A and B are shown apart, each in its own frame.
Chain A
């Protein structure tokens, strides 16, 4: 998406995602532990969808399936109608921990994807564009241990965006940030998504964050994860947390999660 303006490809900048009866189970000491139970979901190209549910319910597992890091034990996951079987730079994952490589500078961390694909020499300008995009100009030569939590997470975002992804998978990316950094990063995520037109899937257990960022909020049950409800957030951006419509949606979502009656 960094070079969205440069690339001439006519295809949609966002990826269509289809999940059909996806199930996943892990074997733990001879017992099978189901984490996903026949989940079906369709996401339109360019849509921003939040997956909301209690911690450890299996939302992250769903993202790993979409990233191609794991295969479902039942059902299928499709990206643009094609089954997802392996990782691909068009679908990138941002974790709760920035997981930057401590031995690489900010620039080298952001270069990672291009380097792995052998594109770095020809397209190194994209690295600087991505660093500028997340507002880290001037920190190119810093090492991760010199960065604050928010800055590290921005680097992780730039590392994902430099690959021109069409599907951005966000696994509680703001979960470990302090509340002020969190607010500014939420606004920035929306801005990045609006500019690029990519499809974004955000896993979160923060109701407010889901309602501020997403066009649709999918509510999951505790493990094994099952979709229990879907909320459509039909409000323009930028949103305000005291918007009465959002406040009533928030009450509804908390009720669905069994936290407010």
Chain B
């Protein structure tokens, strides 16, 4: 489709650019059609916010219509929108199908399946609590992750560099590391003064292990000739660690940071569900307790966006730091 044509064109000289964007018009009409179905068909089950949902779909359809007319003047942003064309067409179809299956025809059993406007209602009415949960989760996650990543990095470099430190830390790492951080949960909650600090510790622990192991293997795997070169040119031990071992190990460190991030997500949710009285994990648990399934889906969606954004952020940082590498994975 046009998306493929565009990706083929990107990077080649800007020749005759297509004036209009047919896929954009298609996407716009599907959005507007979904808006019409939502607004005009009667709801089989009692839900609010149907008109708001229709308005949002209509607004998106209008925006796409404008984009379809204006893409030649939108530059790189226009190219990105063009690439998303097929997705922007399928999404309103899925939304319309979901709307039909829930609110309009009530095909799916209640209350387990929420309607689109049900989710919208949660965002419009419960956003203070949801927002606060996101902030709590982010704070807990980022503080724990930062501590774990920093500790893991230092431990990994030390393990890779010093035989004496390796002698003492390696057995501990081998015994403790593979244990899932969640197994510490019962101990952590009585050993730490607050459930918050206990969770921070668990998140840090979950991050620490992969970061340590991969930093260590990165440092241990550095080409020995790099050290010979630096030594003949007059490098000190500090220089060898900071300017040779660490930059050479960075690609591996980032793999560790990525794995640590994944581990920290799962520990975060478990810790919030079992002990902490705030955060998205707690929100999920709370919503389930009240059989508020709309809130649950809403929170899950927010959580997915949060985790995905954090991974994106990490990969962006990596691409910046490791710009010298060729062929890095695109997230």
Contacts and interface: CB of A to CB of B under 8 A. Distances in A.
Interface of A: 67-69, 87-89, 91-93, 95, 97, 99, 101-105, 112-113, 115-117, 143, 145, 159, 163
Interface string B225-262: 11011111111100100011001101000000000000
A51 B74 CA distance: 65
Q: Which 7 A-B pairs have the closest CB atoms?
A: A113-B233, A116-B235, A89-B234, A117-B234, A87-B231, A87-B232, A99-B225
A159 to B, nearest CB: 8
B223 interface: yes
Contacts of B230: 112, 116
A248 B232 CA distance: 38
B232 A102 contact: no
Most buried by A among B233, B244, B325: B233
Nearest to B232: A87
B168 interface: no
Nearest to A96: B225
Given A104-B324, A145-B326, 9 more contacts: A69-B232, A87-B234, A89-B233, A91-B232, A99-B223, A103-B248, A116-B233, A116-B235, A163-B233
Contacts of A91: 232
27 contacts: A68-B232, A69-B228, A69-B231, A87-B231, A87-B234, A88-B232, A89-B232, A91-B232, A92-B233, A95-B225, A95-B229, A99-B226, A99-B229, A101-B247, A102-B324, A103-B248, A103-B322, A103-B324, A105-B324, A112-B233, A113-B233, A115-B243, A116-B233, A116-B234, A116-B236, A117-B234, A159-B233
A168 B265 CA distance: 54
Contacts of A112: 229-230, 233
A101 B233 contact: no
A68 B231 CA distance: 9
A56 B326 CA distance: 34
A88 B231 CA distance: 8
Contact of B225 (A88, A97, A105, A115): A97
Nearest to A100: B229
Interface in B205-238: 223, 225-226, 228-236
A168 to B, nearest CB: 11
Contacts of A92: 232-233
A1 to B, nearest CB: 15
Q: Is the interface of A mostly helix, strand, loop or mixed?
A: loop
A238 B48 CA distance: 92
A101 B226 contact: yes
Contacts of B231: 69, 87
A93 B230 CA distance: 10
B324 A145 contact: yes
Contacts of A89: 232-234
Contacts of B234: 87-89, 113, 116-117, 163
A146 to B, nearest CB: 9
B244 A117 contact: no
A89 to B, nearest CB: 4
Contacts of B239: 115-116
A101 B248 contact: yes
Give the most central of B229, B247, B248, B324: most A CB within 10 Å: B229
Looking at A68, A89, A101, A143, the one whose CB has the most chain B CB atoms below 10 A away is: A101
Contacts of A95: 225, 228-229
Contacts of B325: 102, 145
Contacts of B232: 67-69, 87-89, 91-93
Most central of A91, A102, A143 by chain B CB within 10 Å: A102
A145 B244 CA distance: 18
A103 B250 contact: yes
Contacts of A143: 324
A93 B228 CA distance: 9
A45 B203 CA distance: 63
B219 to A, nearest CB: 14
A93 B326 CA distance: 28
Contacts of A88: 232, 234
A171 to B, nearest CB: 10
Nearest to A91: B232
B199 to A, nearest CB: 36
Contacts of A105: 324
Contact of A101 (B236, B244, B322, B326): B244
A112 B236 CA distance: 12
B233 A117 contact: yes
A175 to B, nearest CB: 14
Nearest to B246: A103
Nearest to B326: A145
B247 to A, nearest CB: 5
Contacts of A69: 228, 231-232
Contacts of A97: 225
B236 to A, nearest CB: 7
A94 B226 CA distance: 12
A143 B327 CA distance: 14
A161 to B, nearest CB: 11
